[in-house]
Amino acid sequence: MLYTISDLIATLLENTLIVSAIACGAGFRFTGYKQAMAMTSCVILLSLFVAFANNLVYFSFLTIVIAFLTCLLLSPIFSKGSILLRALSCTLIIFFLHMLDYIIGFSLAFLLQKSDSLYESFQALATPGSFRLLYTLVNKSIQTILSLILFRYIKNIRTLSLKMQIILFISFIFAYSLMSICVNIIISSPDNFHSSFVILAWILLATCMIAFIFIVVLYQSYSRNQQALQKQLAHNLLLSKEYKATVANEKELAKKAHDFTKHLEALSQLPVGSEASEYIHELLQNSSNKKTMHDYHTGNEILDAILSLKHQEADIQGICFEADVILTTPLQIASLDLCSILSNLLDNAIEACLRSVEKEKRFVNMYIRQKHNILYCEVNNYCETSPIITGKKLIRKKSSPGHGFGTQIIRDIVKKYDGNIQVSYSENCFHVEFTLMNRPM
């Protein structure tokens, strides 16, 4: 009776690990209590099937195949991923668990041989008794610990390309088939030398398979890092272009001011009359066509450049733009992050103003202060249509009426610097305020 209960618990535990791995790898369908109930019901159904199959034939690879298909059939109940992701997760965890089954079983058979025959010792694992009870306890304990570690990383298979997922799935099927053939030879052959040779060959196969998995994961991680690097380089290039454009505009303004001085000097030498009046009129007309570049001196060149550019853009669109910035210490926030969060906020504010019909009401106000190592910023802008706000998050898409807040960039940067962000809307005014820890990352 004790051995029957231990086998039932072992079956429940193994099926729990399989179902959990599929849910982690392919994605949870529900959350909380509903997800737990869905997974529990599938574990019970799968365990009943395995127990029934084991009563017919205790050890059969056909049983494993049918159990795999049953698990795949039940998986949509608790997992929302594609059938390929669910199949890959299921194959991976079954290969992992059964590989541990055999490694631990062979190890105990070698260490605790009851006779000179490894074959007889391994057969003892399939016979109810103290030897099998010890094996079950050790095996399931190690499986649970290692599986919990695996669950932290198995979700990364979702980031693999479709081609890579197919390659991994086929590789697992091939490796599991070879492992099954090797194990079948071992448990059916009383020849110790033959069995030992097959064990070594199988261990080599398992090692190669694990190495292959690590190579795939490392390659995928490298690819993601390269993509992130390319995005960062693109952002830096954009930032550099904007800053250079600001510097070039300031130089152009300085040149125009110098030329204007020369014009005035020339004008002072002309006699009073119609020619002077026409010259003055021409200068005033040309001067009125020039867009003034607003000069900011916050103590941070990047911030100065952003404010100058956005102020000029607001002027062109007929939007009243005001910025009140006081920095007490140098900013240690990365230039890329500072540019991304402020540019996105001001772009969204300007876009919201442009949607308003009453042009004279358009405004964008920015307020930035610094206290100790905390940077505080708020942006207010005219917003004719009330946006959709849930809690502290704006959920309306950028293409919808209201305020453009479609990207995740702002919240990501706030989170990166351990800050907080709040959004609100009142009387045609959209308000965003956030804090950032002023520190390098």
pLDDT the model gives residue 213 = 67
pLDDT bucket at 344, cuts 50 / 70 / 90 = confident
Inform me whether the pLDDT recorded for 360 exceeds 80. yes
pLDDT the model gives residue 381 = 94
Residue of 152 and 268 predicted with greater confidence: 152
pLDDT bucket at 211, cuts 50 / 70 / 90 = low
Inform me whether the pLDDT recorded for 81 exceeds 90. no
pLDDT the model gives residue 216 = 65
pLDDT mean across residues, the chain: 78
pLDDT bucket at 397, cuts 50 / 70 / 90 = very low
pLDDT the model gives residue 114 = 56
In the chain, residues under CATH classification 3.30.565.10 are 294-437
Inform me whether the pLDDT recorded for 129 exceeds 60. yes
Average pLDDT of span 153-168:
82
3-state secondary structure the chain: CHHHHHHHHHHHHHHHHHHHHHHHHHCECCCHHHHHHHHHHHHHHHHHHHHHHHHHCCCCHHHHHHHHHHHHHHHHHCECCCHHHHHHHHHHHHHHHHHHHHHHHHHHHHHCCCCCCHHHHHHHHCCCCHHHHHHHHHHHHHHHHHHHHHHHHHHHHHHCCHHHHHHHHHHHHHHHHHHHHHHHHHHHCCCHHHHHHHHHHHHHHHHHHHHHHHHHHHHHHHHHHHHHHHHHHHHHHHHHHHHHHHHHHHHHHHHHHHHHHHHHHHHHCCCCCHHHHHHHHHHHHHHHCCCCCCCCCCCCHHHHHHHHHHHHHHHHCCCEEEEEECCCCCCCCCHHHHHHHHHHHHHHHHHHHHCCCCHHHCEEEEEEEEECCEEEEEEEEECCCCCCEECCEECCCCCCCCCCCCCCHHHHHHHHCCCEEEEEEECCEEEEEEEEECCCC
Inform me whether the pLDDT recorded for 219 exceeds 80. no
Residue of 89 and 192 predicted with greater confidence: 89
Inform me whether the pLDDT recorded for 393 exceeds 60. no
pLDDT the model gives residue 140 = 93
Read off the pLDDT of residues 6-53 as tens digits, 9 standing for 90 and up. Answer: 888 998 999 999 999 999 999 999 988 999 999 999 999 988 887 777
User: Judging by DSSP bridges, how do beta strands 320-325 and 363-371 pair with one another?
Assistant: parallel
Its pTM surpasses 0.75:
no
Average pLDDT of span 322-335:
89
Inform me whether the pLDDT recorded for 433 exceeds 90. yes
CB-based contact 139:219 (threshold 8 Å): no
State the CB neighbour count (10 A cutoff) for residue 235. Answer: 17
Inform me whether the pLDDT recorded for 236 exceeds 60. no
Residue of 352 and 55 predicted with greater confidence: 352
Inform me whether the pLDDT recorded for 404 exceeds 50. no
Residue of 387 and 64 predicted with greater confidence: 64
pLDDT the model gives residue 198 = 59
pLDDT the model gives residue 115 = 55
pLDDT the model gives residue 14 = 92
Domain 294-437 has CATH 3.30.1490.150: no
Read off the pLDDT of residues 271-324 as tens digits, 9 standing for 90 and up. Answer: 655 566 566 556 555 655 555 557 788 888 888 888 888 898 899 999 999 999
Inform me whether the pLDDT recorded for 92 exceeds 60. yes
Inform me whether the pLDDT recorded for 74 exceeds 70. yes
Least confident of 8-17, 158-167, 227-236: 227-236
pLDDT the model gives residue 110 = 72
Least confident of 14-28, 333-347, 349-363, 364-378: 333-347
Average pLDDT of span 164-190:
78
Least confident of 76-90, 252-266, 378-392: 252-266
pLDDT bucket at 154, cuts 50 / 70 / 90 = confident
